[in-house]
Amino acid sequence: MSTASLVASLTQLRNSLTQVRLPLSLPGSAAAEKAAREMVAQLDDYILPRLDSLDAPLLAVVGGSTGAGKSTLVNSLIGRVVSRPGVIRPTTRSPVLVHHPGDLAFFQSDRVLPGLARSFGQANDTSTLQLVAEPSLPQGLALLDAPDVDSVVTENRALASQLLAAADLWLFVTTAARYADAVPWEYLQAAAERSAAVAVVLQRVPPGAMGEVPQHLGALMLERGLGSSPLFAVPETTTDDRGLLPDAAVSPIRDWLASLAADQRSRQAVVLQTLDGAIGSLTTKTPAIVTALTEQGESSEQLWHDAEKSYAEAVRTIGVQTADGTLLRGEVLARWQDFVGTGEFMRGVEQRIGWLRDRILAAFRGEGQRAEDAKVAVQSGLEVLMREEGDAAAERVENAWLANPAGRQVLERTHEDLSRASVEYPGAVARVIRDWQGDVLELVSAEGADKKTGARIMAFGVNGVGLALMMLVFFSTGGITGAEVGIAGGTVVLAQRFLEAIFGEDGVRRMAKTAKEALDARVEGLAGSELTRYRQALDDLGLAPERAGEVQAALDALRSERVGGLALEGVPRPSLPTAQSLPGAGEPAPGGPAEPVASPTVEGEPAASEGVMGLGLGGIILPAGLGGGPARGFVSAPSAPVEGTVLDADAPQGRRLEPDHG
């Protein structure tokens, strides 16, 4: 795997994630949308810039809850006040990044955290990073004092998360009084899940609790996957007039940081661990986003299906009722009978067909107002049917959508009244009927192209012939059989005989079929234009059905890039520093020199020392004593021996503990 191809697949993932829109609020969609946003931010703020310059300085972000002593810690590590400790809260102050002057270029550019402006003086907004150059800080290490993770100010919290996501190393600060609080643990848990390099600083431990509290926190860390992270316990002391802690209280932390900074391989180990963890967490978080995208698409599909189904039903109902005789009732029948003449000729149709024919022919010759009335009756009969079915279809869709959370959301968002047919519908219905009547007349005229037939049609008038054809259509599935002929049936038989006399039996059958198909097609078109309202409402959601596949493809590409974890071309994975490699860490442990020291042990559980995957420095580190004088900063580190001691729960405070091999 080359860095370039890893960067390419990460960029592909980034670009597809920026397109993620989950407009329907479904279970998990808000979380997935937030995750996608955060993943893009982490790619931009950290992963991509870090891959671009693996040897850039290590950024240690100091995070934790309000008043935990983050600013105090940063100041005490540096030996001067670079970040004002907060007294009045909540305050919005730009986060302070302390760096070696030689590393300025790395932090001044938009290589990391490109969304934040840079300032060299105090700034008071959450979109600026205040840069402070500090010559005593070792080159290759920068400290960032982040806002409170539990700030009451939303932007502060968001910025704290963003900064922690951009950290090579988290220096997580908590206090003896509040280390069990939920919010900081959510962050620590998240760090553990993506195996970010973490060190925990436990502030303000009362002298009497030195044996117990760090041990308990260590056990919690071990339980939650942070067993390989070092835990620094800082005793409760008074701060000096500048608000700094005594040097001895923080020197183990400073020495540890300095030793990391001094050793390029250790630095790289930290970077690779966090980077690998961050990339790994992208691959574990992405499937939920693909699922969320798929679910949005499926919901929208389901809603579209509901709409289509309902309109298909309307089309079917109209199709059936324009053929089964339903229409040949009331006005249509009355006007048709007015037209052809009523009364006695309805009797004995079959026997007296010859007489009837003469009667009908006579009636057709007399067309005029009566033909017009019958045509209007046909129009309004069809209109009533289509409008009723149009409203019923809309109502069915609305009910189906109301029964579905996604449907309710679409109904709420749309400006259309989807509870009934569209305002254009009645006009469209009238047009469709007129057009169909036009189709029928055209059909009749076309048949009339044949001279003999044409002459007959002319004799009766195109309108009358067309009307007879419509009557036939309306009863085409009515199943007329001699014995069962009712009044409607009788009139239709009349029409049929009449038409057969002009066009012949086959011709009539063919024309009736063509006319019916033309009607069905027009009704289908009508439903289609009503359906556009639903299509529009769903399209307005802005879902892109191809998105899920794109994100999945990017994920697959990334997965195939990092089979077996991050191992970059030309960047050998360094072995991680162990406690023994720290200056002054004492003799190697008798059982195994490579083991880290004194992981917090919990009864019945294995010591964290068995997993040397983290910083390789799990364990609890206590200060040796508090007589160390005022804060002195990094100047003399790391040549001075580490003053920290590693806690043994059973040993008196301040004595070294040999590794626990139990």
Ligand X SMILES: Nc1nc2c(ncn2[C@@H]2O[C@H](COP(=O)(O)OP(=O)(O)O)[C@@H](O)[C@H]2O)c(=O)[nH]1
Q: Which of ligand X, Mg ion, none does 93 bind, CB closer than 5 to 8 A by kind?
A: none
**Segment near ligand X (CB under 6 A), from 13-21, 234-242, 340-348, 366-374?**
234-242
Smallest distance, ligand X to C-beta of residue 147, A: 9
Is the bond preceding 206 in cis, omega lying within 30 degrees of 0?
no
Q: Does 630 bind ligand X (CB under 6 A)?
A: no
Q: Which of Mg ion, ligand X, none does 238 bind, CB closer than 5 to 8 A by kind?
A: ligand X
As given in the structure block, the two tokens for residue 43 are 């790619």
List the one residue from 4, 27, 154, 238 that touches ligand X (CB under 6 A): 238
Taking a C-beta distance cutoff of 8 angstroms, is the pair 393, 314 a contact? Answer: yes
CA 137, 138, 140, 146 dihedral sign is: negative
How far lies 254's CA from each of 167, 173, 248, in Å? 18, 14, 10
Which CB, 119 or 445, lies closer to Mg ion? 119
User: Concatenated DSSP letters for 592-608?
Assistant: -TTSPS-----TTS--G
Which CB, 160 or 290, lies closer to ligand X? 160
Taking a C-beta distance cutoff of 8 angstroms, is the pair 349, 300 a contact? Answer: no
Q: Which residue's structure tokens are 């339903």?
A: 326
Smallest distance, Mg ion to C-beta of residue 82, A: 11
> How many residues at the interface with ligand X, by CB under 6 A?
20
Between CA 574 and CA 568 the distance in angstroms is 11
Smallest distance, Mg ion to C-beta of residue 67, A: 8
CA angle 225, 255, 50 (to 5 degrees): 60
| Residues facing 117 on adjacent strands | 128
**Binding interface with Mg ion (CB under 5 A):** 70-71, 86
**Segment (H or E) for 11:** helix 3-18
Q: Does 239 bind ligand X (CB under 6 A)?
A: yes
Smallest distance, Mg ion to C-beta of residue 133, A: 20
Between CA 59 and CA 143 the distance in angstroms is 6
Which CB, 202 or 541, lies closer to ligand X? 202
Which CB, 129 or 470, lies closer to ligand X? 129
Name residue 442's amino acid: E
**Segment near ligand X (CB under 6 A), from 105-113, 239-247, 536-544, 638-646?**
239-247
Q: Does 204 bind ligand X (CB under 6 A)?
A: yes
Smallest distance, ligand X to C-beta of residue 82, A: 12
Strands (E), 40-176: 58-64, 96-99, 117-119, 128-133, 141-145, 169-175
As given in the structure block, the two tokens for residue 609 are 């020392």
Smallest distance, Mg ion to C-beta of residue 173, A: 9
**Segment (H or E) for 39:** helix 29-42
**Segment near ligand X (CB under 6 A), from 129-137, 235-243, 416-424, 577-585?**
235-243
Smallest distance, ligand X to C-beta of residue 69, A: 3
Alpha carbon 307 to its chain centroid, in Å, reads 25
Q: Does 184 bind ligand X (CB under 6 A)?
A: no
Which CB, 84 or 357, lies closer to Mg ion? 84
Name residue 137's amino acid: L
Which CB, 188 or 245, lies closer to ligand X? 245
Which CB, 53 or 124, lies closer to ligand X? 124
Between CA 329 and CA 528 the distance in angstroms is 28
Smallest distance, Mg ion to C-beta of residue 78, A: 14
Q: Does 497 bind ligand X (CB under 6 A)?
A: no
Which CB, 166 or 303, lies closer to Mg ion? 166
Alpha carbon 280 to its chain centroid, in Å, reads 19
- What does DSSP say about strands 96-99 and 141-145: parallel, antiparallel, or unpaired? antiparallel
Per-residue binder mask for ligand X (CB under 6 A), 138-177, x = binder: ----------x-----------------------------
Contacts to ligand X from residues 55-114, by CB under 6 A: 64, 66-72, 85-87
Taking a C-beta distance cutoff of 8 angstroms, is the pair 163, 142 a contact? Answer: no
Cβ burial 217-243 (10 Å sphere, 16+ → b, else e):
bbbbbbeebbbbbbbbbbbbbebeeee
Which CB, 237 or 653, lies closer to ligand X? 237
Q: Which of ligand X, Mg ion, none does 237 bind, CB closer than 5 to 8 A by kind?
A: ligand X
Between CA 93 and CA 56 the distance in angstroms is 26
Q: Does 237 bind ligand X (CB under 6 A)?
A: yes
> How many alpha carbons lie under 13 Å from residue 651 in its C-beta half-sphere?
14
Smallest distance, ligand X to C-beta of residue 150, A: 10
Between CA 540 and CA 546 the distance in angstroms is 16
Q: Which residue's structure tokens are 């305002």?
A: 423
Q: Which of Mg ion, ligand X, none does 72 bind, CB closer than 5 to 8 A by kind?
A: ligand X
Which CB, 86 or 211, lies closer to Mg ion? 86
Which CB, 70 or 285, lies closer to Mg ion? 70
Smallest distance, ligand X to C-beta of residue 119, A: 19
User: Concatenated DSSP letters for 276-292?
Assistant: HHHHHHHHHHHHHHHHH
Q: Does 245 bind ligand X (CB under 6 A)?
A: yes
Which CB, 548 or 631, lies closer to ligand X? 631
Smallest distance, ligand X to C-beta of residue 625, A: 16
Footprint of ligand X (CB under 6 A): 64, 66-72, 85-87, 148, 203-204, 236-239, 243, 245
